[in-house]
Structure 1
Amino acid sequence: MARLTPNNQYEDPFKASWLIRFAWLSVAAYLAYSFNAMGLEWERIQQGLGQAGILLDRMFPPNFSRWELLLSGLAESLEIAVIASITGIVLSLFFGLFSARNLMPNWISIPMRGLIALCRTFHPVIIAILFVKSVGFGALAGILTLVVASIGFIAKLFAEAIEEISLKQVEAVRATGAGFVSVILFSVMPQVFARFIGFSTYQLDSNLRNSTMVGIVGAGGLGGTLFSAFQRFDYDFVAAILITIIAIIMVGEFLSNIVRRIFS
């Protein structure tokens, strides 16, 4: 928003300078270089659009005849998402609390923040590959992957929410002689509980999506069924799987909105 100068004139918030012009030119030059280095040409895009049309033509109408296989993979994905979300939410409560710099000394909060940052460093697919190599194919690798992803997201935001609370309530509860647990339950959690529920429902929604994605690398769930269908060029069954995933995500979004309204 423009602001008034001492002469009662509005200052241009978008006034240019040579530094800003040079920065924009550098970005434009780098984009042009990147397009050329990666061989991104309009002919390739046109060819890809043509192949996409052929793929879509082979995907429709969807084939739901193997509904038992579809439901089996879907049930496993839901189980992976729910178990991983609940486990990740519970662990994030403690991780986020111990990472809050306004409640914990540095010798506790700094290592915990480093651990949370480590959980957020890699994409879930990379983590899933590591767990598949460690514990083998199946749902366990998917659950461990999504637990790590949940901690990386929820614990970080929960710690930041705790750091923004009013310390007056904390001091008031401490003045009554309450212990550490009572301070957390009666002064910290009431201020951040609604936000924590929001973080948790969002992560559950994210885990529903990621539970199908990690299955592609062997971590269980509907992703494995989807990958097998692609390998068999069974595109009408692929369409059925994708429609099912979309339906589950929409239902999850609807339920998460209800939960947010209840606790907001």
Structure 2
Amino acid sequence: MTRRQAFASNWQGRTALIALAIYCVYAAMQLDISWARIAVGLGEGARFLGRMWPPNFERWDTLVEGLVESLQIAVLASALGIVISLPLSLLAARNLSPWWISGPARAFIALCRSLHYVIVAILFVKAVGFGALAGVAALTVASMGFIAKLFAEAIEEISMKQVEAVRATGAGRLAVLLYGVLPQVASRFVGFCIYQLDSNLRNSTLVGIVGAGGIGGTLFAAFKRFDYDFVAAILLSIIAMIFLAEVISARIRKALQ
């Protein structure tokens, strides 16, 4: 009688892990990553943090103006992205649309997701100029790429029995969508929308660095002036805003469960 090992040796997996470890060491050497540079960086980082303390909130009016603009950018981009993503996801769902419709719709969604929103913001800044319009446009494109994909996947997971039951009553296509499709995915849609709003609120602080409006522009200007105590005030304000948004979104999710 042969004895079987509880955990059989997986030489392929071990070889892959060893190869990955060797490549990580090689990549670190090529990128000039060393413990000496990390040690120097930690010291410089400590001195940098020392220059940021204490935070300076004297220019609170500029701070509030940037935060309000970031909030407006996030809300507008989320609303536009959701409105556009809903019909786009219905077209991209393969259980509701033929391939010659769902294919191009999915390709467009993939195109929206192919570029980072900061790169898209740079493109819109070049197209429409500096300001909040470029930020709204960039985050709208990013929202479409994320929400439409999740919407389409959620629609593809629905039960077609309910859809066929509504169709059997002689209902039109719009009625089928309203009474056969959307009720099955409504709670997930709301969750996706809340998450995207929360995400856009964070992203709106970043697109401003490239000139697309929001508190990011104020932050970048403070860095260029070496105004590090005001930088600390901006960063703390951004953290407080994101934390407050996270608390509110968590309560909304809990109320909808």
Task: Normalising by structure 2, report the TM-score.
Answer: 0.96
| Match runs of 1:230-241 below 5 Å | 230-241=223-234
Q: How far, CA to CA, are the matches of 2:126 and 2:238 in structure 1? A: 26
**Which residue number corresponds to residue 93 of structure 1?**
86
- Pairing 1:188–2:185 present: no
- Pairing 1:78–2:93 present: no
Structure 2 residue matching 1:120: 3-state secondary structure:
helix
- 1:123-155 alpha-carbon deviations (Å, 9 max, x no partner): 111010010011110000000000001011111
1:263 to partner: Cα distance: 2.2
- Pairing 1:111–2:104 present: yes
- The AA in structure 1 aligned to 2:40 is Q
- The AA in structure 1 aligned to 2:124 is F
**Which residue number corresponds to residue 150 of structure 1?**
143
Match of 1:225 among 215, 218, 223: 218
- Pairing 1:20–2:21 present: no
1:17 to partner: Cα distance: 2.4
**Which residue number corresponds to residue 126 of structure 2?**
133
| Match runs of 1:13-52 below 5 Å | 15-52=8-45
**Which residue number corresponds to residue 245 of structure 1?**
238
Task: Normalising by structure 1, report the TM-score.
Answer: 0.94
1:262 to partner: Cα distance: 2.4
Percent identity of the aligned residues? Answer: 61
1:15 to partner: Cα distance: 3.5
- The AA in structure 1 aligned to 2:26 is Y
Q: How far, CA to CA, are the matches of 2:48 and 2:36 in structure 1? A: 18
1:259 to partner: Cα distance: 1.7
**Which residue number corresponds to residue 6 of structure 1?**
none
Q: How far, CA to CA, are the matches of 1:26 and 1:102 in structure 2? A: 42
Give the paired residue count: 255
Q: How far, CA to CA, are the matches of 1:30 and 1:69 in structure 2? A: 48
Q: Which runs of 5+ in 1 are unaligned?
A: 1-8
**Which residue number corresponds to residue 168 of structure 1?**
161
4+ residue segments displaced more than 3 Å: 9-12
- The AA in structure 2 aligned to 1:228 is A
- The AA in structure 2 aligned to 1:198 is G
Q: How far, CA to CA, are the matches of 1:252 and 1:230 in structure 2? A: 26
- The AA in structure 1 aligned to 2:227 is D
**Which residue number corresponds to residue 179 of structure 1?**
172
Q: How far, CA to CA, are the matches of 1:127 and 1:109 in structure 2? A: 24
- The AA in structure 1 aligned to 2:112 is C
**Which residue number corresponds to residue 102 of structure 1?**
95
- The AA in structure 1 aligned to 2:125 is V
Q: How far, CA to CA, are the matches of 1:109 and 1:172 in structure 2? A: 23
Structure 1 residue matching 2:125: 3-state secondary structure:
helix
Q: CA RMSD in A?
A: 1.4
Q: Which runs of 5+ in 2 are unaligned?
A: none
